[in-house]
Amino acid sequence: MTTTPAIPDSPTGTRLMDAAAQLFYSDGVGVGVEKLCKTAGASKKSLYEIFGSKDDLMAASLARSIPTYLAVLLPRAEPYSPPRQRILALFDNLEAIISAPTFRGCPYVSASMEIKNAEHPARAVARGFHNTLTEYFRDAADEAGVDDPGALAVALTVVHDGVTSRAVVQNHADPGLGRAIATSLLGGAGVS
């Protein structure tokens, strides 16, 4: 469903992806190739040789960031913790993320909104992150034995998207907000 872009392994490629991840997040996707290369200490020639295009650098950089981001967002594997606890723990982790003063939105939701062309390769990467998140919720919802685990998983993903968006719009995180809404939805699905 999602195309995974190639993530090059060269030191220059890595520096370019680091610069891209940092600059696109802090300054927006309009950051130019000139600034990217300067920050990375790389030539334009190497950017195009390694990635082919700025768009492909964006996609590779975003894809490369996902495992690190998920390591912070997803609760640590605790095989014996019940599904409800696994779901709510994710919202506690999310709260720590959105409370950071450097938070500018979920990097994947934000990239999707900033990149207006739905066919851009980075948009597929962002969708991949989103689907992974929904699968996490779906696994827990399945285990909890709810009537419609798919619907609950999508609803919890919407809460994730909404809580991160709200923190940007309001420029602050409301303490406990994600957990409270998720708790209500879990209650509605009979998970207590």
Question: Which residues lie below 8 Å from residue 53, measured CB to CB, with a gap of 6+?
Answer: none
CB of 70 to its own copies, least distance (A): 16
C-alpha 74/C-alpha 133 separation (Å) is: 9
Report whether 121 contacts 54 (CB < 8 A): no
CB of 184 to its own copies, least distance (A): 4
Q: Nearer Cβ to its own copies, position 89 or 154?
A: 154
Q: Nearer Cβ to its own copies, position 58 or 189?
A: 189
CB of 50 to its own copies, least distance (A): 25
Q: Nearer Cβ to its own copies, position 13 or 95?
A: 95
Position of tokens 């939701």?
109
- Return residues touching its own copies (CB under 8 A): 26-30, 104-105, 108-110, 112-114, 116, 118, 123, 126-127, 130, 151, 154-155, 157-166, 168-171, 174, 177, 180-181, 184-185, 187-189
Q: Nearer Cβ to its own copies, position 49 or 70?
A: 70
Burial (CB count within 10 angstroms: exposed 0-12, middle 13-18, buried 19+), residue 106: buried
Q: What b-and-e string marks burial along 107-144, b requiring 16 or more CB atoms within 10 Å of the CB?
A: bbbbbbeebeeeebbbbbbbbbbbeebbebbbebbeeb
CB of 178 to its own copies, least distance (A): 8
Q: Nearer Cβ to its own copies, position 50 or 179?
A: 179
CB of 150 to its own copies, least distance (A): 11
Q: Nearer Cβ to its own copies, position 50 or 106?
A: 106
CB of 160 to its own copies, least distance (A): 7
Distances (CA, A) of 95 to 105, 163, 176, 190: 12, 9, 7, 24
C-alpha 168/C-alpha 77 separation (Å) is: 29
